[in-house]
Amino acid sequence: MRPPAFPSSRSSPEAVDHRLVERFLFVSLIFALVAVPGAVLVLAEIDGGWAKPTLQVLVVINALTLWWLWRTAASRSVEESVLRIMGATAVLTFGFVAVEPWLIHFTPMVCLGSLLLPLGLVEPGRYRRLLIGGLVYITSMTIFSRIGAIRGPVMEAAPTSTRDLVAVINTPILFVLVSWILWQGHAAIVDRVDGIAESQRRLVGAEEAGRRTIDADSADLRARLATARGVVAEVGQPADVSNRVGGPDRSDHPDHRLAVAELMPSIRGMSADLRRLSHGIMAPQLVGAASGQTLADLGGLVEWPVTSTIAADLPDLPEVVDGTLRICAAELLRGLDSLDVADAELRLGSDADHVVLAMTYRTLRGSPAANGGGRTDGTGTAPIPAVHTLDRVGALGGIVTTDHREGRGAIEIRIPRRPTEVEPHALGRLRTAADRGLSSALLRASVFPVVGFLVGLATWLFVLPYRDMAEVVVLVAVAYTGPCLAAVVVARRAPRLAIWLFATSHWVTALAVASQFTIIKFFVAAALLIPVVAAMPYLSRGWYRSLVVVSAVVAAVTAAMTRLVDQLEIAGESPQTVNKAIVIVLIPSACAIVLALAWRNHAALVVRAVELRAARRRVVEAIERVRRQIERDLHDGAQQRLVSATLRAQILTRLEPDDRARVEENLRLLDEELETAEHALSVLQRPGDTIATTETLVERLNRLKATSPVPLELHVGRLPDRLAPEAVAALWFCCSEAVGNVAKHAGDGARATIELDAQVGSVRFRVVDDGQGFDWPSSSGRGLRNLADRMGVLGGSLDVTSSAGRGTVVAGSIPFA
């Protein structure tokens, strides 16, 4: 027996978020536990007075706090856990820095880790406040640490070798921790965005498969109708009287009643099949205005008994919610049909915010291989056959909860009563942040070397005895800025090259700087984080892993170099004011860059997810409209004609053969009904359905050119021999719709041109007209959005350029393997 085709808990983004927090705390705890004996050993060698036992206590408190947070994370919401982690980080880092100011070289990195953790997990406005608050905190902590001695009581007493050892161990560990958080954040971006896109593809794929079934069923019914019409035509023919003198008379007509009576079951069968087809397209209505209704009709979908109830106070629901519930209920029942189900119960109700469809079932013997329970909003990546239930519900912001156990199971669907979705254009500041491209991000990230350059310049100008050191800083800053600016220039055309150029300049510079100075431990680590954060939205998992690993290795090497290479001891040789100024300026500025990039990533993630969700919602609504239209067409067309045909056939079975005029009239009317039904079904079949190759696409475009209501030119370049049928269909759909738009909206005398060509890896098209244009993108037309969504689902794109009086260009591309 197969298990039910419903999701497991793997596909819940909520669960993924919890795991991320738990993993972070677990990894941090491991680091902290490693740090405890290390710190005890280091501190044992040092005479730090009062600070020594205080630090030891803080190390233990730190480990215990992490352990407590980790143990209690599962029982809290993700946001609550994240906020607790941040609070604990703030208190503990401040405690460490207060006791030992030298630790300012490490504590900002810990703060960065906790600030990067909620990327994509908390509401954007709150995340922005957290980032700003975090930056203010880091800046305050840095200034506070520089008010007194640079080293503090413990490190003041420690030998240089001990300080270096602490730096060599802590810097790479903290860098790896923060990199790991970024790696997880990258996974969140990729998984969430890919998950929604995949959900959209599944929906469209399932709808396409459904349409093919409709087409196949329609073709089958048309063939049966043609056969029935043949029978009717035969019945209407007079008997063979060619050898009779005087030609046929009334008695020459055979008795039509037997033939028509034999035809009746066929017509009734076709009518029943058409009703089933109609129900397959749009399940019977669940929700009406009156109370006390039942879902009994759904029980007809399966052989086993289904009891059902609808709550009396169920509110009126939007069409898309109503349709989704109908489709989900039918799909769930059909899904359960593969099990040995004894019976099932359906309940439809609501609470303040949601409409709830709950289904419980019992199996005849034992249980299916239960796959446990879970929640999903349709963004999961697990293979999910119950596409409509999962993806449609997810698209409306709903949740599906499943619980399959021994011999029984339960499924619950919760959909918001009024699904609302933040539209991409309503995202405001978030949109602005997300729209900044890679070049803008890299340019902003290059501020760090510029700050370094200015600090070096200031040192050179005002602290003359350290002129040599300042010259080195200036040279490094210039060498650093050059490749960064080159990366900015190439970012638009070759983002991956730009990222590697940018990262390489950071790695080389970090190694160069680390070979000269000891004070820059934190700055080097922070600088190495910048390309890792900047690259997040642009690299695939594989490339991103390479970037993170190389950066971590460079961070470890730079930390080790503080012990291996003879360096300039700025702290020991330069005036305290210079050292303090360097730390106070560079630590917050480095953190500011990292956090600004993190905010941008967060915005990009949220905006992308909102865009995809909105697109998926539109796909669902478009499917809904098409389904309802097909259902209406079937009902008003073929189905009505078949039931009329049934009546005409009944009439014929009751008419005497001698009543020739009425028999012939009813035979004519019967044939007319069957013919109209056949025609209605032929109209139902999609015109683009037969377009599966580039040849048929070009042929169809040439036909469009011949029949177009507007003068149409066609320029077709070289096209790939093989193109996915859905890509061909999408190209036809877009071109024909765009030409249709010209005919409808471009005004009198408008002319259009279609250009179709293949370039590297993609087929491109442009539909250009010289009509009156329109105010794009403020126009709220649904058609162009549908075109864009259709291209987006296939990995393509669509751009519209238009303004009043200047014509319109609809251009798109679609990739091919």
Name the DSSP class of 243: T
Q: Which is nearer to other proteins, 513 or 638 (CB)?
A: 638
Rounded to a whole number of angstroms, the minimum distance from the CB of residue 275 to other proteins is 6
Q: What is the C-alpha separation between 637 and 477, in angstroms, rounded?
A: 76
At residue 569's C-alpha, the angle toward residues 565 and 571, to 5°, is 145
Exposure b/e, 123-162, CB count within 10 A at least 16 = b: ebeebbebbeebbebbbebbeebbeeebebbbbbbbeeeb
Rounded to a whole number of angstroms, the minimum distance from the CB of residue 668 to other proteins is 12
Q: Which is nearer to other proteins, 314 or 470 (CB)?
A: 314
Rounded to a whole number of angstroms, the minimum distance from the CB of residue 356 to other proteins is 18
Rounded to a whole number of angstroms, the minimum distance from the CB of residue 332 to other proteins is 18
Q: What is the C-alpha separation between 110 and 734, in angstroms, rounded?
A: 51
Parallel, antiparallel or unpaired: strands 354-363 and 372-376: unpaired
Placement of tokens 């880790």 in the chain: 113
DSSP 678-694: HHHHHHHS-GGGG--SH
Rounded to a whole number of angstroms, the minimum distance from the CB of residue 283 to other proteins is 9
Rounded to a whole number of angstroms, the minimum distance from the CB of residue 297 to other proteins is 5
The dihedral built from the CA positions of residue 68, 69, 71 and 72, taken in this order, carries a sign that is: positive
Q: Which is nearer to other proteins, 81 or 271 (CB)?
A: 271
Q: Which is nearer to other proteins, 300 or 687 (CB)?
A: 300
Q: Residue 324's closest CA among 419, 237, 252?
A: 419
Q: Is the peptide bond before 720 cis (omega within 30 degrees of 0)?
A: no
Rounded to a whole number of angstroms, the minimum distance from the CB of residue 771 to other proteins is 36
Rounded to a whole number of angstroms, the minimum distance from the CB of residue 255 to other proteins is 17
Q: Which is nearer to other proteins, 255 or 636 (CB)?
A: 636
Give the distance, in angstroms, between the CA of residue 109 and the centroid of all CA atoms in the same chain. Answer: 31
Q: Which is nearer to other proteins, 47 or 656 (CB)?
A: 656
Rounded to a whole number of angstroms, the minimum distance from the CB of residue 323 to other proteins is 14
Q: Which is nearer to other proteins, 123 or 656 (CB)?
A: 656
Rounded to a whole number of angstroms, the minimum distance from the CB of residue 645 to other proteins is 8
Q: Which is nearer to other proteins, 645 or 723 (CB)?
A: 645
Q: Which residues contact 80 (CB under 8 A, 6 or more apart)?
A: none
Q: What is the C-alpha separation between 746 and 741, in angstroms, rounded?
A: 7
Rounded to a whole number of angstroms, the minimum distance from the CB of residue 218 to other proteins is 17
Q: Which is nearer to other proteins, 188 or 267 (CB)?
A: 267
Q: Which is nearer to other proteins, 121 or 310 (CB)?
A: 310
Tokens of 455: 């600090």
Rounded to a whole number of angstroms, the minimum distance from the CB of residue 258 to other proteins is 18
Q: Residue 438's closest CA among 601, 298, 195?
A: 601
Q: Distances in Å between the alpha carbon of 426 and those of 25, 556, 628, 815?
A: 35, 44, 30, 30
Tokens of 393: 């519900």
Q: Which is nearer to other proteins, 297 or 412 (CB)?
A: 297
Q: Which is nearer to other proteins, 290 or 661 (CB)?
A: 290
DSSP 494-563: -HHHHHHHHHHHHHHHHHHHHTTBSTTHHHHHHHHHHHHHHTTTTS-HHHHHHHHHHHHHHHHHHHHHHH
Q: What is the C-alpha separation between 77 and 69, in angstroms, rounded?
A: 12
Q: What is the C-alpha separation between 275 and 168, in angstroms, rounded?
A: 75
Rounded to a whole number of angstroms, the minimum distance from the CB of residue 646 to other proteins is 5
Give the distance, in angstroms, between the CA of residue 119 and the centroid of all CA atoms in the same chain. Answer: 16
Q: What is the C-alpha separation between 723 and 691, in angstroms, rounded?
A: 11
Q: Which residues bind other proteins (CB under 8 A)?
A: 267-268, 271-272, 275, 278-279, 284-295, 297, 300, 310, 635-636, 639-644, 646-648, 650-651, 654-655, 666, 669, 673
Parallel, antiparallel or unpaired: strands 408-416 and 354-363: antiparallel
Rounded to a whole number of angstroms, the minimum distance from the CB of residue 358 to other proteins is 18
Q: Residue 401's closest CA among 367, 370, 369, 377?
A: 377
Rounded to a whole number of angstroms, the minimum distance from the CB of residue 730 to other proteins is 33
Q: What is the C-alpha separation between 89 and 111, in angstroms, rounded?
A: 7
Radius of gyration over every alpha carbon of the chain, rounded to an integer in angstroms: 36
Q: Which is nearer to other proteins, 35 or 264 (CB)?
A: 264
Rounded to a whole number of angstroms, the minimum distance from the CB of residue 789 to other proteins is 30
What are the DSSP E strand ranges found in 289-423? 306-310, 341-350, 354-363, 372-376, 399-405, 408-416
Q: What is the C-alpha separation between 209 and 188, in angstroms, rounded?
A: 30
> What is the four-CA torsion angle of 484, 488, 493, 494, rounded to 10 degrees?
30
Q: Which is nearer to other proteins, 191 or 673 (CB)?
A: 673
Rounded to a whole number of angstroms, the minimum distance from the CB of residue 333 to other proteins is 14
Q: Which is nearer to other proteins, 147 or 290 (CB)?
A: 290
The 306-310 sheet, strands edge to edge: 306-310, 341-350, 354-363, 408-416, 399-405, 372-376
Q: Which is nearer to other proteins, 322 or 345 (CB)?
A: 322
3-class DSSP state of 180: helix
Rounded to a whole number of angstroms, the minimum distance from the CB of residue 317 to other proteins is 13
Q: Which is nearer to other proteins, 287 or 750 (CB)?
A: 287
Tokens of 176: 């790896």
Q: Which is nearer to other proteins, 269 or 437 (CB)?
A: 269
Q: What is the C-alpha separation between 104 and 114, in angstroms, rounded?
A: 16
Q: Which residues contact 108 (CB under 8 A, 6 or more apart)?
A: 138, 141, 142, 522, 526, 587, 590, 591
Parallel, antiparallel or unpaired: strands 762-769 and 408-416: unpaired
